[in-house]
Amino acid sequence: MKTQKIELYSKFERFWHWTQGGLVILLGITGFEIHNSFKLFGFETSVRLHSAASWAFLILIAMAIFWLFVTGQYKNFIPTTENLKAQINYYLSGIFKHAAHPTKKTKLSKLNPLQRIVYLALIILVFPVQLISGFLYMFQHYPNKPIEMAGLQTVATIHVIGAFLLVVFLIVHLYLITTGSTPLTNLKAMITGFEKMEEDEELIKNQV
C-alpha cells in the first residue's frame, strides 16, 4: 500500500509535548533533591526551580486544555475498547514478532486504546493530584520554616507516589518511542510534525 507524509502533530502540539517533558524532568530532578535523594543544584535552588516549574506547568496545562477543546483534539483522549485486546496482545507478544500494529494513526486518532487510557489518567488524575498536593505542600511548608499541619505528611507522601508514577511513565514512554517502523520514526515525527502514513480513504477523510 502506498504511503504519504502528513503533518500529524501541529506546532503547538510539539511545543506542548517538549515543554511538558522538560518541565516534568526538571520537576522530578528538583523534587527528588528536595526529598534529599541526591545533591545537584542545592536545596534552596531546587526549591525555587521546583516552584517556578510548577507554575509554568500549571500555565501550560491550562493552555493545552484550551487548545484541545478549540481544535477538537480532545477526541484523541476519549477511551475506547475497540482493538484494546489486540493492542495488549501486540505489546505482550506481537511487537517482538514484528507483527503489524493493530491501530492506525490519523490526525484525530493518534493514540492507541492503551495510550488513551494512560494519557487520560495522567491528565485527569495524576497531573491534578501532583499540582494540588504540590501547591498545598509548598504554601504550607516553603519558603518559611517547616510548620505543623494536620495531614501534611500524607500530602507529601501522595506527591512522592505521584512522582514515582511519572518516572515509570517516562521510562516506558522513552522505550515506546523506539517501537515505530524504525527506532527514530516516532521521535522524528514529534520533532518535525510529519510522519509517513498508509494512504487510504479513512486516513484521507480524517485529514480534511
Burial (CB count within 10 angstroms: exposed 0-12, middle 13-18, buried 19+), residue 108: middle
First to last CA, the chain: 20
Q: What is the pLDDT of residues 137-195, one digit of tens each?
A: 877 765 555 545 556 778 888 999 999 999 999 999 999 888 877 888 889 999 999 98
Rg of the chain in Å (alpha carbons): 20
Domain ranges for the chain, please list them. 3-154+184-207
18/177 Cα distance (integer angstroms)? 14
- Output the pLDDT for position 171: 93
- Identify which of 43, 112, 47 has the alpha carbon closest to the alpha carbon of residue 79: 112
b/e per residue 166-179 (b: at least 16 CB within 10 A): beebeeeeeeeeee
Going by C-beta distance under 8 Å and a sequence separation of 6 or more, which residues neighbour residue 176? 186
Q: What is the pLDDT of residues 70-99, one digit of tens each?
A: 999 999 999 988 889 999 999 888 888 888
Tell me the pTM: 0.83
Contact 186, 9 (CB under 8 A): no
Q: Residue 105 — pLDDT band, cuts 50, 70, 90?
A: confident
- Output the pLDDT for position 203: 42
- Domain at 3-154+184-207: CATH code: 1.20.950.20
pLDDT above 70 as % of the chain = 88
Q: Any alpha helices (H) in the chain, and if so which ranges?
A: 11-34, 43-71, 84-92, 113-121, 127-141, 152-177, 185-192, 201-207
